[in-house]
Amino acid sequence: MSDVRLTQMVKTSGCAAKLPPAALQQVLESLPVMTDENLVAGFEGNDDALVYDLPYEKNMVMLQTVDFFPPMVDDPYTFGQVAAANALSDIYAMGGEVKVALNLVCFPACLELPVLKDILLGGQNKVAEAGGVISGGHTISDPTPKYGLSVTGFARKDKVWSNSGAAEGDLLVLTKPLGVGIINTAVKAGLASEIAAKKAIDSMTRLNRKARDAAVPFSVHAATDITGFSLIGHAREMAEGSHATLTLFAPSIPIIEEALEYSAMGLNPEGLYNNREYLEQHVKSSPSLSTAFQDVLFDPQTSGGLLLSMSESDAVEYSRATGFPIIGQVTRKKDHFIEIAG
């Protein structure tokens, strides 16, 4: 198989390729809402996956999601792993278990078929690790390679998590560090160190399964995964859905350190600026925070971590058991959805 640099075939990569949030919101708000008596949650609530009541099974619901994007790494197998981990994350963000998935593939005619095989094998690796199976899919010829999954999972009806429901006094736990969007931009520019690139890949290929499994014994009031709309964007959705304000503790937020350096160099993805333009009106920041630090908070993450809102006692115990940091707290609704304390 000849050497191929997948990232040179795309303009934007990973979750940074998402449509700008303002444009997407404008379109979604213009659509008529479709209803079904068994549809518990759809896109109108900004949850990570739809929730469908199973009329023949009283205690279970079906969770379904779909996600795909262009490559953010050059290695086809790693790309498949990252894209699959990112799609599977939506099921974990709802508190569910992965069961079946379908491949979604756009593949250029100019690439050799072993490249496609490696992408699919990477996806299979992560779905198998999740305890699920890939049972088919759909492929089209396209000059820009893209890969992802449609994923179906299940959960007990009384154990489904939502991105609303965060309660005043809750503490917030984040299960992965931020900064992979900035690092991926530096990699594409040929300016990232091997160490930084490896940190980003290790984060993006790590499933949120263990974080979800460790949280199941606790009472999770609200949950979401941090992807293309950044920590600020997904935290804002949680705050708005919960009619609360989320206060983030800047010193406690985990960041891949090289991301701060690269951001200060101007190696920021376009999606970061789209996120900032749409979201900064909802944010009140400490004046002591550096521009680079604030940039990381708006950085579009690919296969990012879970943001969990738990009671203080549960959050402390969960953090102690897993090592995941407590990064904020839920307060009564103020003038801004998000406050960042220095």
Domains and CATH numbers, the chain: 6-159 (3.30.1330.10), 171-341 (3.90.650.10)
- Round to whole Å and give the CA distance between 342 and 331: 17
Beta-carbon contacts of 118 under 8 Å, excluding residues fewer than 6 positions away, are 75, 76, 77, 80
User: Which amino acid would we find at residue 296?
Assistant: V
Beta-carbon contacts of 294 under 8 Å, excluding residues fewer than 6 positions away, are 285, 340
- Round to whole Å and give the CA distance between 342 and 251: 7
What backbone phi and psi angles, to 5 degrees, belong to 236?
A: -65, -40
DSSP labels for 17-34? GSPPHHHHHHHHHHSPPP
- Show which residues are catalytic: 15
- Round to whole Å and give the CA distance between 46 and 89: 15
pLDDT of residue 139: 94
pTM: 0.89
Q: Which of 197, 176, 168, 198 is nearest to 185 (CA)?
A: 197
- Round to whole Å and give the CA distance between 308 and 170: 9
How distant is the alpha carbon of residue 93 from its chain centre?
Answer: 9
pLDDT of residue 279: 93
> How far is the first Cα of the chain from the last one, in angstroms, to the nearest whole number?
50
Query: Which residue carries 């699920």 as its tokens?
Result: 132
CA distances from 302 to 28, 93, 209, 222, 279 (A): 22, 14, 16, 21, 19
> Listing from the earlier edge strand, what are the strands of the sheet with 171-174?
220-225, 306-310, 171-174, 326-332, 244-249, 338-341, 283-285
Per-residue model confidence as pLDDT tens for the chain (342 residues)? 456 677 776 666 545 555 566 776 677 777 777 676 666 665 555 566 777 777 777 788 989 999 988 998 999 999 999 999 999 999 999 999 999 999 999 999 888 999 999 999 999 999 999 999 999 999 999 999 999 999 999 999 889 999 999 999 999 999 999 999 999 999 989 999 999 999 999 999 999 999 999 999 999 999 999 999 999 999 999 999 999 999 999 999 999 999 999 999 999 999 999 999 999 999 999 889 999 999 999 999 999 999 999 999 999 999 999 999 999 999 999 999 999 998
